[in-house]
Amino acid sequence: MLESFFRESPDIDTDYVRTYYWRVNVTLSIDDQVIQEARRRAEAMGTSVNQLVREYLEQLAGKTDPHADAAEFERLSRAAQGNSRGWKFNREELHERR
């Protein structure tokens, strides 16, 4: 209804639109050991815990499209020019306990 009003009314300028974004701080109660391990893993992934939580919440809220994410992963996988330099997976080494 409001959309049709704007389209039909020549007196309203709809060419100039502002978009506002705001951030919300969230406080979580998480065990210290969990946070330390999450930081280590995030660092290994080249990101931050904050970014991982943000991406998870965006996915949970339906902001990201899992099919588009899968298609992007497939595209990147096909485009990768990886070179293992002769290294092959060794099942025993992969499952070795440290």
DSSP of 42-93, one letter per residue?
Answer: HHHTTS-HHHHHHHHHHHHTT-S-HHHHHHHHHHHHHH-----TT----HHH
Assess whether pLDDT exceeds 60 at residue 9. no
Assess whether pLDDT exceeds 80 at residue 16. no
Cα separation of 59 and 74, whole Å? 18
Assess whether pLDDT exceeds 60 at residue 96. yes
Model pTM above 0.85? no
Structure tokens at 98: 């440290």
Q: What is the pLDDT of residues 71-87, one digit of tens each?
A: 988 988 888 877 777 77
Residue 80 has what pLDDT?
80
C-alpha 60, offset from chain centre: 11
Q: What is the pLDDT of residues 32-58, one digit of tens each?
A: 999 999 999 999 999 999 999 998 988
Taking residues 1-29, report their average pLDDT: 65
DSSP secondary structure code for residue 95 in this structure:
T
- Quick one: what percent of the chain has pLDDT higher than 90? 26
First to last CA, the chain: 64
